[in-house]
Amino acid sequence: MSNVPSRRLTPNVALLLLASIIVSFVAASTAPSPLYGIYQARWHFSPITTTVVFAVYSAAVLATLLTVGKLSDHVGRRPVLLAAIAVQMISLVIFVLAGGVPTLLAARVVQGVAAGAATGAAAAAMLDIDRSRGTLANSISPGIGTGVGALLSALLVQYLPAPTRLVYLVLLVVLLVQGVGVVLMAETVTPMAGALRSLRPEIRLPRAVRGPMLVVAPVVFAVWALAGFFGALGPALVRALMNSSIVAGGLSIFIFAVFGSAAILVLRDRPARTVMLTGITALVIGMIITLVSVSADSIAGFFVGLAFGGVGFGGGFQGSLKTVTPLVEAHERASVLSLLYIVSYVGFGLPTVIAGFLVVHGGGLRRTAEEYAVAVIVLAAVALLGLRGTARPTRASPR
């Protein structure tokens, strides 16, 4: 028995593995984005269908978070992660075999189930290992996954054969390696009774987190709504502004994600309130630049707006995590993080479908992009008012 611990991953390696799992799951969710133009040309569907295919993922994630979000607190992180990886691999096989919109929808639903199961478990496991570095990894991993998935997919589509299959095969190999890593990882929690009861949907927050969650919710919703729009319709908008390759569309998502990750790294040691304010400010600036650029047909300005939007995403999401996670106990982490991700994925999916409807039945893609930017600015303003409200009790507390 003395040699068993040596076969387990060290905490540092386990933390890196868990972060990479979130990266690969998010990358798998954004990998279809550069392909929607190809799918649309082959199967002749409208932008509404594009956004629905994109957004059913969010609905599946939500349903899974509501049921399975707390399961890893009871059965352990490793079993949930292994099951999620297996389901994600099934979704990628469905993508490879896709022959029409129904198959795409099925693949996205299965993919969402996998992501919902993995998100809470991986995020909580990273906090189990190291709260400070786990919070940072939870903040930075989705942005990295978003950028890597979109750009990798675009490059493979542009320069290699089998454009609608190769990226999924690459991700299958990555997930297989990660599954082996999870087998070698030590469990980070002690399993406890109540697994079946935990599957009952329950919207509940510890009292200490309720106020902070109300403050951060508009920020989380706004930044993920922006990510959803760029993920579903960003490549098409880039093509509308300039006749460009698929790589340019993937690059737009990559820039958004890279600047988001850079913001997280730069702001990682700053107070949560400072990070939130920075994110909100960058979000507003980015949307104003986007509005002007779309109206002026400026692709350079559009990419600048994307960069500021990425900073807003990184700062807003990291600040939200830093506000909430220090207030919860170990046994509450998966539940609270799952609820935070519920807000994220509602923002990720619902506004995107509305945008798709407006593209077809409203003013078209450019007009919709302008209206979307205005809506994000309004949400940012609401979030700013919430932050200002939290400052007043703080000043009064000494009395």
Domain ranges of the chain: 7-394
pLDDT at 390: 61
pLDDT at 2: 43
Q: At what angle are helices 333-361 and 101-129 packed, to 10 degrees?
A: 150
Nearest-angstrom CA–CA distance, 24 and 145: 6
Torsion angle defined by CA atoms of residues 334, 338, 344 and 346, in that order, rounded to the nearest 10 degrees: 180
73 within 8 A of 335, measured Cβ to Cβ: yes
pLDDT at 334: 63
302 within 8 A of 176, measured Cβ to Cβ: no
Its pTM stands at 0.78
How many helices and strands in the chain, by DSSP H and E?
A: 15, 0
The residue whose two tokens read 């599946």 is 60
Q: Domain 7-394 sits in which CATH superfamily?
A: MFS general substrate transporter like domains (1.20.1250.20)
Per-residue pLDDT of the chain (399 residues; tens, 9 = 90+): 444 445 788 989 999 999 999 999 999 988 888 888 888 888 988 888 888 887 888 889 888 888 887 788 888 899 999 999 999 999 999 999 998 999 999 999 999 999 989 988 898 899 889 888 888 888 788 878 888 888 888 888 888 888 889 999 999 999 999 999 999 999 888 888 877 777 776 666 777 777 778 888 888 888 888 888 877 777 777 877 766 667 877 888 889 888 988 898 898 888 888 898 999 999 999 989 988 888 888 888 888 998 999 999 888 888 888 888 777 776 676 667 777 878 887 888 788 888 888 888 877 888 888 888 888 888 888 878 877 766 544 344 343
Residue 133's identity, in one-letter code, is: R
142 within 8 A of 317, measured Cβ to Cβ: yes
- Cβ atoms within 10 A of the Cβ of 344, count? 26
